[in-house]
Structure 1
Amino acid sequence: MEQRISFVSLAVRDVARSREFYVDGLGWTDEMYVPGEVLMIRVGEHVVLSLWDRAHFEAEVGPIADGSNGSNGSNGSNRSGGVPPVTLAHNVATPAEVDEVLGTARGIGADPVHDGQQRDWGGYTGYFADPDGYHWEVAHNPGPLGELVLP
């Protein structure tokens, strides 16, 4: 098996709301949209973000056992008091770009948005949550690993 990821699939409460956030809000382009079922967005040369209606996701994959009933508070966390056990990352070339992306997310209603800050490991990162509470790290990662993930 080759060492790569082709799809990142997430179960969401409302596919239309996710489309409004990612496509209309962030300005991304959808590759496939089936209202009420799935939204697929190419996020890399060979990587697709696949956002599935929770019921359709469970029908294909099996019951969701994350301790959440699918209801999030306004802070992007589920009722169990935490965040979904996954983060997604969007790396950029400079700390200023981190702040710019976080500003865009804040402008379209992302909640929460954690401002960018210098990290002990040398990078500069911040976070925002999408409508289902999935947290996106926006990062400037200096050095060879950071360069590896930039276009």
Structure 2
Amino acid sequence: MEQRVSFVTLAVRDLAASHRFYVEGLGWTPEFHDPDEVLMFRAGPLTVLSLWDLAHFEAEVGASARSGPGVVPMTLSHNVHEREQVDSVLGDARAAGASEISEAVEREWGGYTGYFADPDGFRWEVAWNPGPVGRLVLPPVADTT
């Protein structure tokens, strides 16, 4: 098996709310949208983020643990090239209706990160990671000269 992730699938309670947040609020462009079942976005060269209606998700993979207290034990991360972009992206997410989980702070490992939650409570980290692993996940900077 190759070392890569092809899809990240999140089961969502309200697909229309997810559409409003990601498409209308954050300005993402769907690759595929079935309003009753799924909303998919290209999240990288070989990665798709799939937001799947909870009932359809459970019909295929079984009952979820979404009904209990606490958060789903995972985060999604959006890394940026410059430290200042973290605050900008967090602001854009709040303007789109995201719940602020934490303001951006300096991390002991040298980065700068903050968190927001989408309409289903999935935690998104917005991160500036100046180290070598942080650079692995960034697209090339466009040459503007």
Match of 2:110 in 1: 122
Residues 102 and 113, structure 1, Cα contact 8 Å, conserved in 2: no
What's the offset of the Cα at 1:112?
A: 2.6
**Letter in structure 2 aligned against 1:92:** V
Match of 1:75 in 2: none
**Letter in structure 2 aligned against 1:99:** D
TM score, norm. by length of structure 1: 0.89
- CA distance in structure 2 between the aligned counterparts of 1:39 and 1:108, rounded to whole angstroms: 17
Residues 12 and 52, structure 1, Cα contact 8 Å, conserved in 2: yes
**Letter in structure 2 aligned against 1:34:** D
Unaligned runs of at least 5 residues, structure 1: 70-78
What's the offset of the Cα at 1:16?
A: 1.1
SS of match in other structure, 1:102: helix
- CA distance in structure 2 between the aligned counterparts of 1:112 and 1:119, rounded to whole angstroms: 18
Match of 1:12 in 2: 12
Cα deviations across residues 31-85 of structure 1 (Å, max 9, x unaligned)? 0100121000111011000000000001111111x2x32xxxxxxxxx51x2111
Unaligned runs of at least 5 residues, structure 2: 140-145
SS of match in other structure, 1:128: strand
Over 3 Å off, 4+ runs: none
**Letter in structure 2 aligned against 1:94:** E
1:100-111 alignment to 2 at 5 Å?
100-111=88-99
SS of match in other structure, 1:112: strand
Match of 1:24 in 2: 24
Task: Count matched residues.
Answer: 139
1:41-80 alignment to 2 at 5 Å?
41-64=41-64, 66=65, 68-69=66-67, 80=69
SS of match in other structure, 1:36: coil
- CA distance in structure 2 between the aligned counterparts of 1:113 and 1:94, rounded to whole angstroms: 21
- CA distance in structure 2 between the aligned counterparts of 1:22 and 1:104, rounded to whole angstroms: 11
Match of 1:142 in 2: 130
- CA distance in structure 1 between the aligned counterparts of 2:116 and 2:82, rounded to whole angstroms: 17
Residues 10 and 50, structure 1, Cα contact 8 Å, conserved in 2: yes
1:91-106 alignment to 2 at 5 Å?
91-106=79-94
Cα-Cα RMSD:
1.0
TM score, norm. by length of structure 2: 0.92
